[in-house]
Structure 1
Amino acid sequence: MIKKLLVIGPSWVGDGVMAQPLYRRLHERHPGLELHVFAPAWTLPLLARMPEVAKAHLNPFGHGQLQLRERWRTARALHRESFDQVVVLPNSLKAALIPFMAGIPLRTGFTGEMRYGLLNDTRELDEHELPTMVERFCILAEAPRTALHRPIPHPSLSSQPAAQLAVAQRLGLQPDTPIVAMCPGAEYGPAKRWPQRHFAALAKMLSARGYQVWLFGSAKDQQIGDAISQLADGCALNLCGKTGLDEAIDLMALASLAVCNDSGLMHVAAALHIPLVALYGSSSPDFTPPLSDQAEIVSLNLDCSPCFERNCPYQHLRCLEDMLPERVLQSCLTLLDTTPHETTAHK
């Protein structure tokens, strides 16, 4: 009999990308699996690029919202799907409520915050044995007390050349000159954002070498992008807020290189198999590294980092301020040919 399984997906774009190896492993363990994912709206374009996902269900609940009556209605709709099992990735109590209300027979997840009873297939997390987020996701595909299946494949997002060209034409872009994608935002907070003047200086250096620079991000990053474009004297084109995530994926797939803060778009770039320079300040590449064989990680490894704070607790942000553009350029050049070449689309 074909198994039907629901995953309660993560709330962040980067985590949504890192969940794909779990989906792949679930298919390996359960041939013919019908896999559904319950996820917030901003991550749904990712699921549309993942062939492992048969159907996505909208999670309409914002952070901190209990809304028991609405959760009950959502649970009743999921109950009609007759799932055999659910895997709950977020560790919150609220994330486990809907699967319990939906009456899904097998409910798998880490013990989390007081979730005994809501989950009936609970796992204890060994943070030393499973130091990265992708490992913690993937272990939930295995039977209890079973070792993690290795190696874990890297995430992979699909992008079709026709879609890439259509978005480029809509925005009046010319992808025939090699492109560097820069992602200067980070939803988590300023302590993850490389300074705007550093991005601008790097954009000038790359423009002088024959590359056009496109800035990617959400509408929240538009002011950051405007500032970088102005500081770069027009050497960086600000696309922040001009695309949805689906279009950003297609445009980023045209790039020869991506330079990203530790952000959701960094993980998108890695999953598109673009050569990637990943910049780490307050966060750690030990926990959420770019899952790519073509990545250069730049981190100063100061005594005060990683602090995992949204804002620098010492008010100096040296972990990013002292990460000079010349240092990042060297990482770019190890991944790029120094002679501009014709860009190729990534699938």
Structure 2
Amino acid sequence: MSSSLIIAPQWIGDAVMTEPLLRRLHARGEKLTVGALPWVAPVYRAMPQVSEVIEFPFAHGGLQLKARRSLAKRIAGRFDTAYVLPNSLKSALLPLLAGIPKRIGYLGEARIGLLTHRLKNPRKGKRPPMVAFYSALSGDTHLDTDRPVLAMPPAEVDQALAELGLQHATYVVFAPGAEYGPAKRWPATHFSALAQSLDVPVVLLGSGKETALCEEIAAPVNALQPGRCLNFAGKTTLVQALCAIAAARQVVSNDSGLMHVAAAFGVPQVAIFGSSSPLHTPPLSERAAVLWLKSDPDYQPPLDCAPCFERECPLGHTRCLNDITAARVLAALTV
């Protein structure tokens, strides 16, 4: 059995979409170790095909050569192959410094001398869906049928739910954040209206940056129905958040990393798209409903501006999100 090191991407959604690649590599006999930043590492611990996860001691910005050299010395001689999933120059340094003989990745930031096997980056607008993009690094074909799959150990789920005071399938998760910007976020007032129309508690998940956003959603609901919305933004570990999603009755989210997590767990969900496109990064689950006004022939006037992929609406109206009503999301949840 050969040993392979996977250099993971830095975003949760991208990490989820690498799972089919890892499943392919494991199925052909490669023993997999994933090197990941701490906020992504728990996603890889939910992939049974991964033997080990190494948390990188790197921060954003800079090459941090001293830290990379130190880690390279510790892992030297352990791996036959490295798969470098990010496109940056610094992500390809560790496999080179560790002397890993076969180093596979896409052409990126001046990486010709760092990688031994290089795939051409598809031109802008021609890139395939992200699962196929990552899976192509395996060298296999027929990549379009793969779906990411995550699995948390039942005992770990039970422990996390006990810590959070939750019970299986008795709540709906809202993930109202989107790191990219407000043009990907369904309005807080709409989330509040949806929460008031549900007959079960709502669990709000997100990072510490999204605490105020989640409180904006929860406050008007709890004023009318005390305790209906539980704001856990910034108060959970990623492992606890993964477990809460895995055990939820349903999930409502924007196009975000937690959307992909819910899809990989197979939880019934509604995914709301605005400035981005579900043609490129959809939730890959038969239990996912996607709402995107761009593809609605009955919506008038048509959204000729979508998808714009901007952080904020260039036209100032954000119709693509504002015009998706809470009633419409509720209808998609109850199908």
TM-score when scaled to structure 1? Answer: 0.87
Q: Which amino acid aligns with 2:260?
A: H
Q: Cα RMSD between the aligned structures? A: 1.8
- Cα offset for 1:181? 1.0
Cα distance between partner residues in 2 of 1:187 and 1:177:
27
Any conservation in 2 of the 1:76–1:102 contact (CA below 8 Å)? yes
5+ unaligned residues in a row in structure 2: which ranges? 295-302
Deviations 1:305-326 (A, max 9, x none): 2222222222322221122112
Any conservation in 1 of the 2:5–2:34 contact (CA below 8 Å)? yes
Deviations 1:60-96 (A, max 9, x none): 2233222222222222222242x11111110111111
Aligned to 1:61: 58
Cα distance between partner residues in 1 of 2:109 and 2:160:
43
Q: Which amino acid aligns with 1:10?
A: P
Q: Which amino acid aligns with 2:282?
A: P
Any conservation in 2 of the 1:267–1:291 contact (CA below 8 Å)? yes
Cα distance between partner residues in 1 of 2:242 and 2:164:
14
1:192 to 169, 172, 184: 184
Where in structure 2 are the equivalents of 1:87-236 lying within 5 Å?
Answer: 87-126=83-122, 131-142=128-139, 148-150=141-143, 152-173=145-166, 175=167, 178-206=170-198, 210-233=199-222, 234=226, 235-236=228-229
Any conservation in 1 of the 2:161–2:240 contact (CA below 8 Å)? no
Any conservation in 1 of the 2:205–2:231 contact (CA below 8 Å)? yes
Deviations 1:32-69 (A, max 9, x none): x2111111001111111111111111222233222222
1:258 to 237, 251, 255: 251
Cα distance between partner residues in 2 of 1:104 and 1:176:
44
Any conservation in 2 of the 1:13–1:264 contact (CA below 8 Å)? yes
Q: Which amino acid aligns with 1:111?
A: L
- Cα offset for 1:151? 5.2
Task: Please state if 1:285 is matched with 2:287.
Answer: no
Q: Which amino acid aligns with 1:87?
A: Y
Any conservation in 2 of the 1:177–1:212 contact (CA below 8 Å)? no
TM-score when scaled to structure 2? Answer: 0.90
Aligned to 2:299: none
- Cα offset for 1:152? 3.4
SS of 1:117 mapped into structure 2: coil
Where in structure 2 are the equivalents of 1:287-306 lying within 5 Å?
Answer: 287-301=280-294, 302-306=303-307
Evaluate the alpha carbon distance shift between residue 120 and residue 325 of structure 1 in structure 2; reply closer, same or farther with a 3 A threshold: same
Aligned to 1:332: 333
Aligned to 2:35: 38
Percent identity over the alignment? 45
Any conservation in 1 of the 2:168–2:247 contact (CA below 8 Å)? no
Cα distance between partner residues in 2 of 1:157 and 1:192:
24
Evaluate the alpha carbon distance shift between residue 93 and residue 177 of structure 1 in structure 2; reply closer, same or farther with a 3 A threshold: closer
Cα distance between partner residues in 2 of 1:311 and 1:4:
44
Deviations 1:181-230 (A, max 9, x none): 11011122222111100000011111xxx222111112221111111111
Aligned to 1:343: none
Cα distance between partner residues in 2 of 1:48 and 1:187:
23
5+ unaligned residues in a row in structure 1: which ranges? 335-347
Cα distance between partner residues in 2 of 1:176 and 1:115:
47
Q: How many residues align?
A: 322
Evaluate the alpha carbon distance shift between residue 77 and residue 200 of structure 1 in structure 2; reply closer, same or farther with a 3 A threshold: same
SS of 2:132 mapped into structure 1: helix
Evaluate the alpha carbon distance shift between residue 220 and residue 129 of structure 1 in structure 2; reply closer, same or farther with a 3 A threshold: closer
- Cα offset for 1:129? 6.9
Aligned to 2:318: 317
Cα distance between partner residues in 1 of 2:152 and 2:305:
39
